Amino acid sequence: MPYIPLDVNLPGITGILNYRPETALPIRQLTHILLRGDSSLTQGERELIATIVSYGNECKFCTAAHTAAADLLLGEKETADVVKRDLLNAPVSAKMKALLIIARAVQVSGKNVSSEMTSTAKSEGATDLEIHDTVLIAALFSLYNRLVDGLASVTPTDSAFYERLANILVDKGYLPSENRYAGLKA
Amino acid sequence: MPHIDLPKEYPGIRSLFVFRPETAVPLNALVQTLLHNPHPTLSPGERELIATYVSSLNICQYCATIHGAIAKHHLHNGDVVERVKSNPDTAPISNKLKALLKIAGKTQLSGKEVRESDVEAARKEGATDIEIHDTVLIAAAFCMFNRYVDGLATWAPDDPEVYDRMGKQRAEEGYLTPPFKIQPQHKN
C-alpha cells in the first residue's frame, strides 16, 4: 500500500507524478530533454542508462519499465539484459560501455566517477556533452528510483503492463498530455 | 579538476547550468517550486534543512554548504543548520521536522528503507500527505543534485563568504535569477 493516497489505476511513478503536478512538470520536462531530445546518443542508448541505474538501485518498477522501453527502441531484448547482468560483455559500442560504467558509478555515488572512467570514455570518442548527459540521466534515475520506492507505490507483476507503459514512453515521450495513460489499462 | 570542460568562474552546480542551459531550466524550476515557493505547511527554511541534511549525508560539500547557507538566511539562525547536520534528533527543531528528516535520511539510503513505521511516526507528529510526499521528493531530488555536482567533479569553494553571498541571493531571489561570477579558487 502506498504511504500516501494515490490513484489505484496509476501504479508506480505514474500516480506519484499525478499527485503533485507542480513538481512533476519540471521532472517530466527534464526527462524529456534528456531521454528524447536531440542527442548524439540514440534514444535506446539513453534508456540503457536509465535501466542500468534502476537495476543497481533494485527498483523493480523502473527497471522493468525502462528495460521494456530499451527493448522496444533497440528492436531486441538481448542488449538490455546483458547490460544489467554482465556489462563488460554487453553488445554495445566501446564508447557506450564506457558511458554505462560511468552511469553505474553515479548510481552508487557521484564521487565514484573517476578521472580514469571519463578519460576512457573520451578516448572511445565520448564528448563532454555525452559525459554530462550520462551523469545527469544517471542522477535523475537516482531520483526516480527513490521516489517510486520511498512512497511504496504499487509495482505491477505482469510484464504486459510494462510493455504497455513502454509503448507510451516510446510513442509519447515524457511530457504530460491529455489521456497520456489511456493505453495503460489492459 | 572537473571531468569535462566547465566555465571556471562558476562553482558547483552553477558551472553545470552555464554548460547546459537547456537542462538548467527544469532543474531550477523544480527547486523553485519544491524549496522556495509558498507551501501549505513547511517554511522554505524547513525545506532547505531537508536538502542540507541529505546533501551532508551524501557528503556533497558544495550542496550541503550552499543549502545550509540558504537555510541560515531563511531561518536567521546558523546554529540550527549545524545542529541538524550533526544530529537532527537533538537539534532545536519541531518533532514533526525530526520525523520528516528521518524519512529523508532513509530515502537517501534507498527508497526501500522508508518503512511504514517511519511514516506513521511522522503522521503522529502531524505530518500531512503533502509533507510526506515532498520530504521524499526533496531527498530524492538532492540524491540527484549531489550526484550531478560530484559526478562531474565540479569545484567547491573553500571560502564561507562565497557561500554566504550565494545563500543570501537564493534565499531572497529564489532559483530563477542568474548566478554571479566568482574568482576561481583552484588548489588542484
Q: According to the model, what pLDDT value does residue A64 have?
A: 98
Contact A152 B4 (CB under 8 A): no
Chain A residues with CB under 8 Å of B175 CB are none
Across the interface, whether the CB atoms of B148 and A135 are under 8 A apart is answered yes
Partners of residue A148 in chain B, C-beta under 8 Å: 111
Mean pLDDT of B74-91: 97
Q: How far apart are CA A145 and CA B57, in angstroms?
A: 18
Is the confidence at residue B138, as pLDDT, over 80? yes
The yes-or-no verdict on residue B188 having pLDDT over 80 is no
Superfamily of B27-172 according to CATH: AhpD-like (1.20.1290.10)
- What is the pLDDT, as a whole number, of residue B186? 58
Query: HEC profile for B105-132?
Result: HHHHHCHHHCCHHHHHHHHHCCCCHHHH
> Would you place residue A186 in the very low, low, confident or very high pLDDT band (cuts 50, 70, 90)?
confident
> If pLDDT is split at 50, 70 and 90, which confidence band does B183 have?
confident
Three-state secondary structure of A168-180: HHHHHCCCCCCCC
- Average of per-residue pLDDT across A12-30: 98
All three cell numbers of B65: 554548504
C-alpha cell at A110: 557521484
d(CA B86, CA B80): 10
Q: Is the pTM of this model over 0.90?
A: yes
Residue among B58, B59, B137 whose CB faces A147 most closely: B137
> What domains does chain A contain, in order, with CATH numbers?
13-172 (1.20.1290.10)
Residue pLDDT, tens place only, A75-134: 999 999 999 999 999 999 999 999 999 999 999 999 999 999 999 999 999 999 999 999
pLDDT for B185 equals 67
pLDDT score recorded for residue A180: 95
If you average pLDDT over residues B80-102, what whole number do you get? 98
Cβ separation B23–A27 shorter than 8 A? no
For residue range A138-155, list pLDDT tens digits in order: 999 999 999 999 999 999
What is the Cα–Cα distance from A124 to A95, expressed in whole angstroms?
5
Q: How much is the mean pLDDT over chain A?
A: 98
User: What residues in A contact B34, CB-CB < 8 Å?
Assistant: 23
B71: contact with A, CB 8 A cutoff: no
pLDDT for B187: 54
- When scoring B152, B154, B188 by the number of chain A Cβ atoms within 10 A, the one with the most, hence best to mutate, is B152
What ipTM was reported for this prediction?
0.98
User: Per-residue pLDDT for A175 more than 60?
Assistant: yes
Out of A111, A113, A145, name the one closest to residue B111 (CB).
A145
| Predicted local distance difference test score (pLDDT) of residue B73 | 98
Phi and psi angles of residue A168, each rounded to the nearest 5 degrees, phi first: -65, -45
